[in-house]
Amino acid sequence: MVAGNVHAQGEARMEISSEYLADLLIGIAKAQTAVIDAMERANPGFRNTHAVPLLQIAANMRAGDPRLIDLPSRVLLRMQGRVALDNKAVRADLERLSNPQPAAARDASAATAPAAPAAGGENLDFSANP
C-alpha cells in the first residue's frame, strides 16, 4: 500500500481554503494567548521572561526564509503584541509559504533588489563561518 492521502471509496475529500485555515490558526492562537495571559496574571513577568523567548525559538525567528511549519508559532508570537492580527495578513503568509518561489526566481529577485544599508550591530552573527 502506498502512503499518502488514501480515502475510503465514496468518502468526500475535505478542501480547506486559505481563509478558513487562517481563521483557524488565529482562533487557536487566541486560545493559547488566553492561557499565557492566565499565567501572566498568576506570575507577573511570565510572558516576557518565559513565553516570548520560547515562542521566538519555536517560530524560528532567526531564519532568513520562514517555513510553513513556523507559521503557527509566528501567529501566536504576533498575538502577544498590542496590534490586532487580521485574517488577510495570515492568509497572505499561508499563500506565500504554501506556494514558494523556485530558487532561480528568488535569486533573480534578490539580484535586482536594491541592497539595504547595513545597520550597526544587526549582522553580528559570530556563530556562522565566513
The pLDDT tens digits for 19-54 are 999 999 999 999 999 999 999 999 999 999 999 999
Q: In sequence order, what E strands does the chain have?
A: none
3-state helix, strand, coil in the chain (%, to 5): 55, 0, 45
Cell matching residue 98: 504554501
Place of cell 509566528: 74
The pLDDT tens digits for 4-23 are 555 566 678 888 899 999 99
* Prediction pTM value: 0.66
Q: Cα–chain-centroid distance for residue 26?
A: 11
Which amino acid is located at 81 in the chain?
G
Place of cell 482562533: 27
Determine if residue 128 is left, alpha or beta; phi over 0 gives left, psi from -120 to 50 gives alpha, anything else beta: beta
Question: Measuring CA to CA, how many Å separate 112 from each of 97, 105, 107, 109?
Answer: 22, 11, 9, 5
